[in-house]
Amino acid sequence: MTGLDLLTFGEALVSLRAAGPLAAGGALTMHLAGAEANVAIGLARLGHRTAWAGRVSEDELGGYVLRELRAEGVGVDHVTRDPERPAGLMFLERRTADLTRVRYHRAGSAGSALSVEDLRPALAAGAHVLHLTGITPALSDSAREATRWAAETASRSGALVCLDVNHRARLWTRDAARAVLTPLAGYASVVVASEDELELVGEPGADEPAVVAALLDRGVETVLVTLGADGARAYTRDGVREAAALPVTAVDTVGAGDAFTAGYLSGHLDGLDLAGRLRRAVTLGAFAVAGHGDWEALPRRDELSLLDDL
C-alpha cells in the first residue's frame, strides 16, 4: 500500500438540474453526480488523499467529469477514457421543494462498461480504504466482475473494504441485487445500508439482527444502518451503538448516505474510535441535508466543528 488514503470507483454522471419546472422555463445547470464521486469529494474536502477510478467518455462531458473531480482534489490518474461510448446522463427537475429525478441515460454509457482492466492500475497503486457501492455491479456484467475483483484484491492486500449497499431499484431487482451483494459483503470490513437495504446482504426476508449476526460471523467488523433524521445504528462484535442525527433543517437529502459514509471513513483514517467515527458520519450527513446539491454542501476540515454545539 502506498500514498492513497481512499480509492473508490463507479460511474460518474453528468447531471442536468432544472431549478424550476422545465415547462415554466426552469434554467438548467450542470453538475457532477454519482454516489462514489460524492464519497470521494467528501473525503478529499477533509484533506484525505483520495482517488476515483472509472471509465468516462472521451468527449467534452467526460472531460467535464474529470475537471470537476480534479477541482475538488480527487485524483483521476487511473481513469480510462472511452472513445466509443457516451457519458452517463441524469436529468433532474425541481418541481416543488423536492428535487425529482426525472430521467437517467446510463445504459451503454462509458461508465457502465467498466472492467477489471480499467481498475487494475488503480488497485496496483494501493490505498488504505477501498470504497464500493452496490450501484456499480448493477451496471453491467463487466462492471459486476470488476467490483468483485477489486473487493477481493483489496481485501487480500489488507485494505479496509467498505461496501455501501445503495440499492437502485431502477437498475435491478432486489433478488438480483441480493445474489450479487451478499457474496460481495464477504470481502468487506464495513457494510453501510439503510434499514430497507440491509436485507440485500443477507437471507431473503431476514430481520436486522439476523442479517447483522450473519455479517459479523462472516468477518464484517462494522455494520452501519442509516436511519435518516433518526441517525444511525452501528453494530460490532461488542454490541450496538446508536448515533443521533444532528438537528438541522433538511433542504435536500440527496447524497446524505454518501456523506455519512465519507464521514465514517474519514474518522477511520484519522484513527478515531467508533463514537468519533459515528460523530463525524452524522456531522457530514447533516451538512449534506442542510445544503443544496449532492456533494456541494460538504464541509472542508476547518468547517467540521461548525456543528459541534448542536
Helix 60-71 and helix 35-45, axial crossing angle in degrees, nearest 10: 30
**Residue 59 per-residue DSSP state:** S
> How many angstroms separate the Cα of 236 from the Cα of each of 212, 214, 302?
9, 12, 30
Interface pick for ligand ADP out of 89, 248, 272, 274 (rule CB under 6 A)? 248
258 is catalytic: yes
Between 10 and 231, CB nearer to ligand ADP: 231
**Residue 75 per-residue DSSP state:** B
Interface pick for ligand ADP out of 14, 129, 135, 246 (rule CB under 6 A)? 246
For ligand ADP, how many residues bind (rule: CB under 6 A)?
A: 19
Interface pick for ligand ADP out of 73, 186, 228, 291 (rule CB under 6 A)? 228
Query: Is residue 89 close enough to count as binding ligand ADP by CB under 6 A?
Result: no
Helix 274-290 and helix 256-269, axial crossing angle in degrees, nearest 10: 150
| Residue whose CB is nearest to ligand ADP in the complex, by number | 257
Query: Is residue 282 close enough to count as binding ligand ADP by CB under 6 A?
Result: yes
Interface pick for ligand ADP out of 231, 267, 293, 299 (rule CB under 6 A)? 231
Query: Is residue 115 close enough to count as binding ligand ADP by CB under 6 A?
Result: no
C-alpha cell at 47: 484533506
Question: CA-CA distance, 216 to 210, in Å (whole number)?
Answer: 10
Name the burial class of residue 8, with classes exposed (0-12), middle (13-18) and buried (19+) by CB atoms within 10 angstroms of its CB.
buried
C-alpha cell at 269: 483514517
Stretch near ligand ADP under the rule CB under 6 A, chosen from 68-76, 102-110, 204-212, 243-251 = 243-251
- Would you call 50 helix, strand, or coil by DSSP? strand
Catalytic residue among 258, 294, 302, 308, which? 258
Shortest distance in whole angstroms from residue 106 CB to ligand ADP: 19
Catalytic residues: 258
Residues at the contact surface with ligand ADP, assessed by CB under 6 A? 194, 226-229, 231-232, 245-246, 248, 250, 253, 256-257, 260, 282, 285-286, 289
